[in-house]
Amino acid sequence: MITKAYASFFQELTKNNNKAWFHANKKRYEADVKIPFVELLETLIPVLTEWDHRILPDPKKALFRINRDVRFSKDKSPYNLMLKAGFSPNGKKSILPGYYLGIDTENIHVGGGLFMLRPPELNTLRAHIADQPKRLNEIVGTTPFVQSFGKLKGEKSKRLDKSLLSVADQTDLIYNKQFFAMAEIPLEPFYGSPKLKDEILSHFEAIKPLNDFLSEAFD
Protein backbone atom coordinates (compact mmCIF):
# COMPACT_ATOMS: atom_id res chain seq x y z
CA MET A 1 0.00 0.00 0.00
CA ILE A 2 0.99 3.61 -0.51
CA THR A 3 2.14 4.97 2.86
CA LYS A 4 3.73 8.08 4.30
CA ALA A 5 7.11 6.54 3.43
CA TYR A 6 6.18 6.94 -0.25
CA ALA A 7 5.54 10.66 0.21
CA SER A 8 8.65 11.10 2.38
CA PHE A 9 10.87 9.67 -0.35
CA PHE A 10 9.64 12.23 -2.87
CA GLN A 11 9.84 15.05 -0.34
CA GLU A 12 13.53 14.28 0.10
CA LEU A 13 14.09 13.70 -3.62
CA THR A 14 12.68 17.18 -4.27
CA LYS A 15 15.56 18.62 -2.25
CA ASN A 16 18.18 16.13 -3.51
CA ASN A 17 17.38 15.52 -7.16
CA ASN A 18 20.72 14.07 -8.16
CA LYS A 19 22.12 10.67 -9.04
CA ALA A 20 24.33 10.35 -5.96
CA TRP A 21 21.41 10.79 -3.54
CA PHE A 22 19.11 8.54 -5.56
CA HIS A 23 21.61 5.69 -5.75
CA ALA A 24 22.29 5.99 -2.01
CA ASN A 25 18.53 5.64 -1.44
CA LYS A 26 17.79 3.07 -4.15
CA LYS A 27 16.62 0.43 -1.66
CA ARG A 28 14.17 2.93 -0.15
CA TYR A 29 12.89 3.73 -3.63
CA GLU A 30 12.27 0.06 -4.40
CA ALA A 31 10.66 -0.80 -1.04
CA ASP A 32 8.67 2.35 -0.28
CA VAL A 33 7.84 3.67 -3.73
CA LYS A 34 8.12 1.34 -6.72
CA ILE A 35 6.85 -1.90 -5.19
CA PRO A 36 3.75 -0.34 -3.55
CA PHE A 37 2.96 1.60 -6.72
CA VAL A 38 3.22 -1.50 -8.93
CA GLU A 39 1.08 -3.44 -6.43
CA LEU A 40 -1.54 -0.70 -6.74
CA LEU A 41 -1.45 -1.03 -10.52
CA GLU A 42 -1.97 -4.77 -10.15
CA THR A 43 -5.26 -4.12 -8.34
CA LEU A 44 -6.49 -1.73 -11.04
CA ILE A 45 -5.62 -3.72 -14.15
CA PRO A 46 -8.21 -6.53 -13.79
CA VAL A 47 -11.01 -3.95 -13.97
CA LEU A 48 -9.43 -2.06 -16.87
CA THR A 49 -8.85 -5.24 -18.90
CA GLU A 50 -12.53 -6.12 -18.39
CA TRP A 51 -13.42 -2.76 -19.93
CA ASP A 52 -10.95 -3.17 -22.81
CA HIS A 53 -9.17 -6.47 -23.46
CA ARG A 54 -6.48 -4.64 -25.46
CA ILE A 55 -5.05 -3.07 -22.28
CA LEU A 56 -1.91 -4.97 -21.36
CA PRO A 57 -2.15 -7.10 -18.19
CA ASP A 58 1.45 -6.51 -17.07
CA PRO A 59 1.59 -3.55 -14.62
CA LYS A 60 5.25 -2.91 -15.41
CA LYS A 61 4.25 -2.22 -19.02
CA ALA A 62 2.02 0.60 -17.73
CA LEU A 63 4.72 2.13 -15.50
CA PHE A 64 6.67 5.17 -16.71
CA ARG A 65 10.33 5.43 -15.78
CA ILE A 66 11.25 7.68 -12.88
CA ASN A 67 14.18 8.96 -14.95
CA ARG A 68 13.41 12.20 -16.78
CA ASP A 69 14.21 12.72 -20.45
CA VAL A 70 16.43 15.80 -20.16
CA ARG A 71 17.71 15.91 -23.74
CA PHE A 72 15.59 18.90 -24.76
CA SER A 73 14.95 20.42 -21.34
CA LYS A 74 16.68 23.31 -19.59
CA ASP A 75 15.93 21.53 -16.32
CA LYS A 76 18.54 18.78 -16.07
CA SER A 77 17.19 17.25 -12.85
CA PRO A 78 17.49 13.53 -13.54
CA TYR A 79 14.35 12.23 -11.79
CA ASN A 80 10.61 12.81 -11.91
CA LEU A 81 9.03 13.78 -8.59
CA MET A 82 6.23 11.24 -8.91
CA LEU A 83 5.57 7.80 -10.30
CA LYS A 84 3.23 7.65 -13.28
CA ALA A 85 1.37 4.99 -15.22
CA GLY A 86 -0.65 4.91 -18.40
CA PHE A 87 -3.19 2.27 -19.41
CA SER A 88 -4.03 2.38 -23.11
CA PRO A 89 -4.97 -0.29 -25.62
CA ASN A 90 -1.74 -1.89 -26.91
CA GLY A 91 0.45 -0.03 -24.41
CA LYS A 92 1.01 3.29 -22.67
CA LYS A 93 2.48 4.91 -25.80
CA SER A 94 -0.55 4.05 -27.92
CA ILE A 95 -2.32 6.76 -29.93
CA LEU A 96 -5.60 5.43 -28.52
CA PRO A 97 -7.25 6.99 -25.46
CA GLY A 98 -6.46 5.57 -22.07
CA TYR A 99 -6.32 6.06 -18.32
CA TYR A 100 -3.61 7.95 -16.40
CA LEU A 101 -2.40 7.76 -12.82
CA GLY A 102 0.36 9.72 -11.13
CA ILE A 103 1.16 9.98 -7.42
CA ASP A 104 3.56 12.58 -6.04
CA THR A 105 4.42 13.61 -2.51
CA GLU A 106 1.06 15.28 -1.84
CA ASN A 107 -1.48 14.41 -4.53
CA ILE A 108 -3.00 11.68 -6.65
CA HIS A 109 -3.38 12.74 -10.30
CA VAL A 110 -6.00 10.62 -12.03
CA GLY A 111 -7.71 10.97 -15.38
CA GLY A 112 -7.38 10.00 -19.01
CA GLY A 113 -8.38 10.67 -22.58
CA LEU A 114 -6.13 11.75 -25.43
CA PHE A 115 -3.09 13.89 -24.64
CA MET A 116 -1.12 13.82 -27.91
CA LEU A 117 -2.72 13.73 -31.35
CA ARG A 118 -0.91 13.97 -34.66
CA PRO A 119 -2.70 15.89 -37.44
CA PRO A 120 -4.04 12.76 -39.24
CA GLU A 121 -5.53 11.35 -36.02
CA LEU A 122 -6.92 14.77 -35.05
CA ASN A 123 -8.66 15.07 -38.42
CA THR A 124 -10.13 11.59 -38.00
CA LEU A 125 -11.39 12.42 -34.52
CA ARG A 126 -12.89 15.73 -35.58
CA ALA A 127 -14.80 13.97 -38.35
CA HIS A 128 -16.16 11.59 -35.72
CA ILE A 129 -17.20 14.49 -33.48
CA ALA A 130 -18.85 16.21 -36.46
CA ASP A 131 -21.08 13.15 -36.92
CA GLN A 132 -22.45 13.35 -33.37
CA PRO A 133 -21.47 16.57 -31.61
CA LYS A 134 -24.33 16.47 -29.12
CA ARG A 135 -23.20 13.08 -27.86
CA LEU A 136 -19.79 14.45 -26.89
CA ASN A 137 -21.46 17.35 -25.08
CA GLU A 138 -23.66 14.91 -23.20
CA ILE A 139 -20.72 12.71 -22.16
CA VAL A 140 -18.69 15.56 -20.66
CA GLY A 141 -21.83 17.04 -19.11
CA THR A 142 -22.84 13.99 -17.07
CA THR A 143 -22.89 14.32 -13.31
CA PRO A 144 -20.11 11.74 -12.70
CA PHE A 145 -17.80 13.45 -15.21
CA VAL A 146 -18.41 16.96 -13.90
CA GLN A 147 -18.12 15.92 -10.25
CA SER A 148 -14.90 14.04 -10.94
CA PHE A 149 -13.16 16.37 -13.36
CA GLY A 150 -15.06 19.58 -13.93
CA LYS A 151 -14.51 20.29 -17.62
CA LEU A 152 -12.81 18.56 -20.52
CA LYS A 153 -9.30 19.96 -20.87
CA GLY A 154 -6.88 20.38 -23.76
CA GLU A 155 -5.22 22.88 -26.05
CA LYS A 156 -7.42 24.38 -28.75
CA SER A 157 -6.78 25.35 -32.35
CA LYS A 158 -7.19 29.02 -33.22
CA ARG A 159 -8.51 28.15 -36.68
CA LEU A 160 -10.80 25.44 -37.94
CA ASP A 161 -11.41 23.95 -41.35
CA LYS A 162 -14.38 25.71 -42.96
CA SER A 163 -16.20 22.41 -43.30
CA LEU A 164 -16.30 22.13 -39.49
CA LEU A 165 -17.43 25.65 -38.62
CA SER A 166 -21.07 24.63 -38.48
CA VAL A 167 -20.15 21.92 -35.96
CA ALA A 168 -18.66 24.58 -33.70
CA ASP A 169 -22.15 26.02 -33.28
CA GLN A 170 -23.12 22.75 -31.60
CA THR A 171 -19.91 22.11 -29.65
CA ASP A 172 -16.82 24.28 -29.26
CA LEU A 173 -14.94 21.08 -28.35
CA ILE A 174 -14.38 20.62 -32.07
CA TYR A 175 -11.58 23.19 -31.64
CA ASN A 176 -9.71 20.95 -29.19
CA LYS A 177 -6.34 19.50 -30.12
CA GLN A 178 -6.31 17.44 -26.94
CA PHE A 179 -9.17 15.69 -25.19
CA PHE A 180 -8.43 14.79 -21.60
CA ALA A 181 -9.67 15.17 -18.04
CA MET A 182 -7.61 15.21 -14.86
CA ALA A 183 -8.40 15.34 -11.16
CA GLU A 184 -6.05 16.10 -8.28
CA ILE A 185 -6.84 14.37 -4.98
CA PRO A 186 -4.96 14.77 -1.67
CA LEU A 187 -2.88 11.67 -0.96
CA GLU A 188 -2.63 11.79 2.85
CA PRO A 189 -6.17 10.50 3.60
CA PHE A 190 -5.34 7.35 1.61
CA TYR A 191 -2.11 6.34 3.37
CA GLY A 192 -2.34 2.59 3.87
CA SER A 193 -5.97 2.53 2.80
CA PRO A 194 -7.61 0.00 0.46
CA LYS A 195 -10.03 2.82 -0.45
CA LEU A 196 -7.32 4.30 -2.71
CA LYS A 197 -8.09 1.67 -5.36
CA ASP A 198 -11.81 2.50 -5.24
CA GLU A 199 -11.15 6.24 -5.47
CA ILE A 200 -8.99 5.81 -8.57
CA LEU A 201 -11.41 3.39 -10.24
CA SER A 202 -14.36 5.72 -9.61
CA HIS A 203 -12.53 8.41 -11.59
CA PHE A 204 -11.56 5.94 -14.31
CA GLU A 205 -15.21 4.86 -14.53
CA ALA A 206 -16.29 8.50 -14.88
CA ILE A 207 -13.96 8.97 -17.86
CA LYS A 208 -14.69 5.61 -19.50
CA PRO A 209 -17.60 6.92 -21.66
CA LEU A 210 -15.28 9.62 -23.05
CA ASN A 211 -12.59 7.06 -23.84
CA ASP A 212 -15.17 4.81 -25.50
CA PHE A 213 -16.38 7.70 -27.65
CA LEU A 214 -12.84 8.73 -28.64
CA SER A 215 -11.88 5.13 -29.41
CA GLU A 216 -14.76 4.77 -31.86
CA ALA A 217 -13.05 7.26 -34.17
CA PHE A 218 -10.14 4.87 -34.66
CA ASP A 219 -11.88 1.48 -34.58
Characterise 113 by phi-psi region: left (phi > 0), alpha (psi -120 to 50), beta (else). left
Confidence of residue 93 (pLDDT cuts 50, 70, 90): confident
pLDDT value for 74: 83
How does pLDDT run across 41-86, given as a tens digit for each residue?
Answer: 999 999 999 999 999 999 999 999 999 988 878 888 999 999 999 9
The pLDDT assigned to 72 comes to: 79
For the chain, how big is the Rg over CA atoms in Å?
19
Q: What pLDDT, in 10s, does the model give residues 186-198?
A: 999 999 999 999 9
Work out the average pLDDT over 133-156: 97
Check residue 201 and report its DSSP letter: H
The fraction of the chain above a pLDDT of 90, given in percent, is 91
Domain 4-216 has CATH 3.30.930: yes
Phi/psi at 52 (nearest 5 deg)? Answer: -150, 110
**pLDDT over threshold 80, residue 92:** no
pTM (two decimals)? 0.94
E strand spans, the chain: 82-87, 98-104, 107-114, 179-186
Q: What are the tens digits of pLDDT across the range 109-131? A: 999 999 989 999 999 999 999 99
